Structure 1
Amino acid sequence: MPAKRVEYGVNHHQLKKIQNLKMTKWEVIKNLNYKQISALLVWFLKHPFFMFATFKATIHTLRIAEKEFPKTHGLHNKANAFRHAIWNVLIAQECAKFSSDLDKVLAWTKQITDWHEEFSPNEKMAKLMDLHNNKIGRKHFVNLKDSSKTEIINVFYLKLESAVKINSESALEEIDNLVFLED
C-alpha cells in the first residue's frame, strides 16, 4: 500500500525562486561551455543508445515530478529529492534495455547525472543534496529494475516519510536516505 501523498505548498518567495531557476532548453544550451558540449557529443557518439535512454528517462521523470509535485519539485525540498532519486532509477532502467551489464548501466547513470550537476546553477549544499539523492536512486535501482513506474513512484513516496532535512555537508556522510534542505 503506498504511503499517503503529502502536498507541499509553495509560498510567494519559493515561487519566485522556481521562476528564476527555470531556464529554457535554448538557455541551457547557450550556457554550456565548449568542454561540456564536447563531452555530450563524445558521449552521444560512444553511447547513442544510452543517450537516447537518458533523454527518454529525463522526460518521464519531469512529467512524473510535475504531476506528483506541481510547481514544487524545482526547490530543494522533498519533492526535489524524490525527483532526483526516480530520475536515476529511470535512467538506469531505460539503459538496461540496451545492456545487461548493470555495472556499466549504473556507471553511465552516475556519469551523466554527475555531469548534469556540474553544469547546473546550484549552490554547494543544493548540489551535494542532488548528488546524494542521485546516489540513493542508483542504490535502489537493482531492486527496482523490473518495476513499473507506478511501483517506483510508490517506493520513493515511502522513502519520503523518512527523508532527512540537512544543513551541513558533514551530515550527508552519515545518512543513507533521501535528503532535503528546505520544507
Structure 2
Amino acid sequence: MWPSGLTGWIAEQAGFKKEKVTEAEAKLLDDLQMRKGLLGLKELADIRQEALHIAEGKFEGKGGTDGHADAFRHAYWNAMMTQRYGEEWARDFATAHERNPTRHHVPVAMDLHNNEVGRSIAKANPDASPEQLANLVEQAVKDGKMVVIDKNDTLVSSSESTPGETRETKNKPWPTDNPGRDDDHDPGQPSATPDQY
C-alpha cells in the first residue's frame, strides 16, 4: 500500500488516498516525492485524473475499459508524463504500474502497447500543448496505431473494431489467477529519475 510511513502520513494529510501499487511503482513515487515534494505527487495525480476525464469524452465514452477510450487514456497519460518527467521515467513508471501479477496478460499487453504509443507521440511533439497531444493521441487511435480487445478477447488494431464493439469487461471480468503471466514479477529497482524542468 502506498503511500506509507511518514511520507504516507504527510501525503494523506494533503488528500492522497492509499492504493495498492507494485514495489517499483512505490519506489518511483517515493523518489518523485523526495525530488519534487507533495506538489510533484499532486501534479502526477492531476495528469492521471486529466487523462481519465478527457478519455470519458472521447469515442462517445465507449470502451472505457479495454476499448477505444481506454486506449486513448493510457496513451494520453503516458504522453503527458513524458513531457513532464521525461520518456525514461514515464516508461519505468507506466511499466511498473502494469506489472501487478494479478492482472490478466491480455489487457496488460494492450496497456503496455498503448503506453508506448503515447510516449512516442510526446517524444515526436515535445512542444505540443495538452490539447494538441489529445488530438494526436485521438488520431492515433482512429488510425489504428493503438490496440483494443475485441469481443473474442483478442488484441486487435483500434481501427479494426468500432468503438463500443469491444470486450464488455464490466460484465465479464478478467480472471485473477492468470497462468498466462507465468514468471511475471515486479521489475525491481527503477533505473530512471524524473527530469528536472
TM-score in terms of structure 1 length: 0.61
Percent identity for Structure 1 against Structure 2: 23
- Count of residues in correspondence between the two structures: 134
Unaligned runs of 5+ in 2: 1-15, 151-165, 167-197
Structure 2 counterparts to residues 69-84 of structure 1, below 5 A = 69=59, 72-84=62-74
Query: 1:45 is aligned with what amino acid?
Result: M
Cα separation, partners in 2 of 1:162 and 1:71, compared to 1, 3 Å: closer
Which residue in 1 is equivalent to 2:116?
A: 135
Which residue in 1 is equivalent to 2:147?
A: 179
Cα separation, partners in 2 of 1:180 and 1:37, compared to 1, 3 Å: closer
After superposition, the C-alpha distances for 1:97-146 in whole angstroms (9 at most, x for unaligned) are xxxxxxxx111101111121123853101001101110111111122221
Separation of aligned partners in 2, 1:120 and 1:149:
32
Is the 2:82–2:123 Cα contact (8 Å) retained in structure 1? Answer: no
Separation of aligned partners in 2, 1:82 and 1:120:
23
2:89 to 94, 104, 108: 108
Which residue in 2 is equivalent to 1:122?
A: 103
Separation of aligned partners in 2, 1:81 and 1:37:
21
Provide the secondary structure at the position in 2 that maps to 1:180. Answer: strand
Cα separation, partners in 2 of 1:117 and 1:63, compared to 1, 3 Å: same
Provide the secondary structure at the position in 2 that maps to 1:119. Answer: coil
Matched, 1:92 2:92: no
Cα separation, partners in 2 of 1:120 and 1:46, compared to 1, 3 Å: farther
RMSD of aligned Cα (Å): 2.8
**Moved segments of 4+, more than 6 Å:** none
Is the 2:75–2:119 Cα contact (8 Å) retained in structure 1? Answer: yes
* 1:70 CA drift (Å): 6.3
1:54 to 30, 44, 60: 44
* 1:45 CA drift (Å): 1.7
Separation of aligned partners in 1, 2:36 and 2:89:
9
Separation of aligned partners in 2, 1:120 and 1:84:
19
* 1:46 CA drift (Å): 4.2
Separation of aligned partners in 1, 2:31 and 2:111:
25
TM-score in terms of structure 2 length: 0.57
Is the 2:121–2:136 Cα contact (8 Å) retained in structure 1? Answer: no
Cα separation, partners in 2 of 1:79 and 1:145, compared to 1, 3 Å: same
* Greater shift in the superposed pair: 35-44 or 146-155: 35-44
